[in-house]
């Protein structure tokens, strides 16, 4: 029975998935269907968590919109997610960045850059 489920899952998994980590700033291109029209909508923010594995893998993106924090969970292998574009890689030492929820203003969206980390070490 599990071999049948595993085979179905392998058919549903996307072959080309962008590799990104927690702390990266990303733009998620999602397909939105309104009536008989389809368009691409962007959701840009910081990846604060990843969970699951295989077909059930999902990631959470957080952004500040009009002074209010907005989080959205995207299934990684969903056909609704057109692509994930990395705008700025971040370097964090946590698996989940839920501490960003307590921050206000610019601090809420700041994670150390990969470039800042290497320049400090030099």
Task: Please tell me whether the overall predicted TM-score, pTM, comes out greater than 0.75 for this model.
Answer: yes
Q: How far is Cα 44 from Cα 74, in angstroms, rounded to an integer?
A: 12
List, in order, residues 6 or more apart from 79 with CB less than 8 Å away. Answer: 31
pLDDT digits (tens, 9 = 90+) for 27-40: 999 999 999 999 99
Q: Give phi and psi for 93, each to the nearest 5.
A: -115, 25
Tokens of 59: 């990631």
CA distances from 25 to 13, 36, 38, 41 (A): 24, 32, 26, 17
Q: Which CATH architecture has domain 2-91?
A: Roll (2.30)
State pLDDT tens for residues 70-110.
999 999 999 999 999 999 999 999 999 999 988 888 888 87
């Amino acid at each position: 029975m599990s071999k049948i489920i595993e085979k179905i899952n392998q058919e549903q998994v996307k072959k080309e998935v962008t590799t990104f980590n927690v702390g990266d700033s990303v733009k998620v291109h999602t397909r939105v269907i309104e009536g008989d029209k389809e368009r691409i909508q962007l959701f840009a923010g910081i990846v604060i968590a990843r969970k699951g594995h295989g077909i059930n893998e999902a990631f959470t993106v957080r952004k500040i919109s009009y002074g209010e924090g907005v989080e959205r969970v995207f299934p990684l292998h969903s056909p609704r997610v057109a692509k994930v574009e990395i705008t700025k890689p971040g370097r964090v030492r946590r698996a989940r960045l839920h501490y960003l929820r307590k921050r206000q203003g610019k601090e809420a969206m700041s994670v150390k850059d990969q470039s800042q980390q290497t320049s400090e070490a030099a």
